Structure 1
Amino acid sequence: MSIFIVTGTGTGIGKTVFAAGLAGALGAYYWKPIQAGLDPEGDKETVARLSGLPASRILPEAYRLTTPASPHLAARIDGVEIEMGRLALPKVDGPLVIEGAGGVLVPVSETLLMADLFRHWGVPVILCAPTQLGTINHSLLSIEALRSRGVPLAGIAFIGEPHAENERIIPLLGKVRCLGRLPHLAALDAPTLASAFGSAFTLP
């Protein structure tokens, strides 16, 4: 069974849209274990709109926090304690796409980083990176943080306008497979995302 974690070099770069495209292309289940921030909606609702998946394949979050912040802070503000026991991988009868919160070194709790959770799960990670200025540093640091923990990397997916040099040098220096690039879509809905994703990516 195919299981992939989708993470990013930071927040707000488009990894939820990529996760929706990947889940739709695989006909997968989608799981966002920790949602922090619900205005105007959570990532689960975004994926439900954009993936074309039936509602039964959009799994409920383990933690649904109202504050838009890193999970450790959102949980503290909401008066919730994040426990590893509730973050076990769900058992499903098909492929599974898991979306992390923020970047790879975002704190889940006072003692656990997102990358540590990825190591605990032991499944391949797809790193989403914007093509814009600054992405080389952010991408290579994220790759190094994952590799230093022994987290398997399925590849890197770029998001944004084309930038040939960034799309060349990051996979080369990071020794990671480039899966493709998802452009910004003027009209973003399930059909346009499915079309763009199918044209842009070779599935890992």
Structure 2
Amino acid sequence: MTRFVVTGSDTGIGKTIFSAALAQATRAPYWKPIQSGLEEETDSEIVARLAGVPVRPEAYRLVTPASPHIAAEIDGVNIEVEKLTPPPGKLIVEGAGGALVPVTRQTLYADLFAKWQVPVIVCARTALGTINHSLLTIEALRSRGVPIHGLAFLGDAVEDSEAIIAEIGGVRRLGRLPVIAPLTPESLAQAFAANFDLTDFH
């Protein structure tokens, strides 16, 4: 059954676009547990527009565009970790920022992933600095017993970086989603189909 968590080596690298592509290809519903920042198009709205799949409502919608722990404090919201349990069935779950982003002052996203035991796909940008960020992310997840399904690279091809992260990290390369312009449901589907093997996600 298609059921994955999508996390990243950094923030702003394209996790939501990859999540949309994966949800579109597998026809799996999408869920963003916590949305921080509501002024611009939210991640759930982006996925709904690009993937055309059911989108589960966020457990928390925070106005302040910041890490969930501080956004909740600024907004006067108490995040209850017990409410952050993925719905059953097929699902693509997207975290916020990187794996070690705080959900509360006591709990990181990686701690939630360890509790859920849903296979995680690590999205890694291909730009300079990705080797360090990606390997640190893999180590942080593995140290908590989080099952890692594989790596999805985002951006222009950098063969050596992609290969050495997978080799040293002991994680398989699932593929690389290039920069897509213009970004439409059709161009996203074509890019995913050309660069990933759908059988890796079932």
TM-score range, shorter chain: over 0.9
Q: Secondary structure at the match of 1:98?
A: strand
The yes-or-no answer on 1:62 pairing with 2:65 is no
Q: Secondary structure at the match of 1:144?
A: helix
Aligned to 2:118: 123
Q: Could you report, residue by residue, the CA deviation over 1:121-149 in whole angstroms, capped at 9, with x for unpaired residues?
A: 11100000000000000000000000000
Q: Could you report, residue by residue, the CA deviation over 1:47-79 in whole angstroms, capped at 9, with x for unpaired residues?
A: 0111132xxx11100001111110001100110
The yes-or-no answer on 1:8 pairing with 2:8 is yes
The yes-or-no answer on 1:89 pairing with 2:86 is yes
The yes-or-no answer on 1:167 pairing with 2:162 is yes
Q: Could you report, residue by residue, the CA deviation over 1:17-75 in whole angstroms, capped at 9, with x for unpaired residues?
A: 0000000111001000011112311100000111132xxx1110000111111000110
Q: TM-score normalized by structure 1? A: 0.95
Aligned to 2:69: 72
Aligned to 1:106: 101
Hey, what's the Cα distance between the residues in 2 that align with 1:189 and 1:63? 28
Aligned to 2:128: 133
- 1:16, CA displacement in angstroms? 0.1
Hey, what's the Cα distance between the residues in 1 that align with 2:114 and 2:50? 28
- 1:97, CA displacement in angstroms? 0.2
Number of equivalences: 199
Q: Give, as a single letter, the amino acid of the residue that structure 2 aligns with 1:64.
A: R
Hey, what's the Cα distance between the residues in 2 that align with 1:9 and 1:186? 23
Aligned to 2:141: 146
Q: Give, as a single letter, the amino acid of the residue that structure 2 aligns with 1:91.
A: P
**Contact 2:32–2:93 under 8 Å retained in 1:** yes
Hey, what's the Cα distance between the residues in 1 that align with 2:158 and 2:166? 13
Q: TM-score normalized by structure 2? A: 0.96
- 1:2, CA displacement in angstroms? 2.3
Aligned to 2:42: 42
Hey, what's the Cα distance between the residues in 2 that align with 1:189 and 1:42? 17
Q: Could you report, residue by residue, the CA deviation over 1:139-174 in whole angstroms, capped at 9, with x for unpaired residues?
A: 000000000000000000000001011111100000
- 1:86, CA displacement in angstroms? 1.2
Percent identical pairs in the alignment equals: 60
The yes-or-no answer on 1:33 pairing with 2:30 is no
Q: Could you report, residue by residue, the CA deviation over 1:152-203 in whole angstroms, capped at 9, with x for unpaired residues?
A: 0000000000101111110000000100000001100111001101111123
Q: Secondary structure at the match of 1:155?
A: strand
- 1:7, CA displacement in angstroms? 0.5
Mind listing any 5+ residue stretches in structure 1 that lack a counterpart? none
Moved over 2 A (4+): none
Aligned to 2:191: 196
**Contact 2:86–2:93 under 8 Å retained in 1:** no
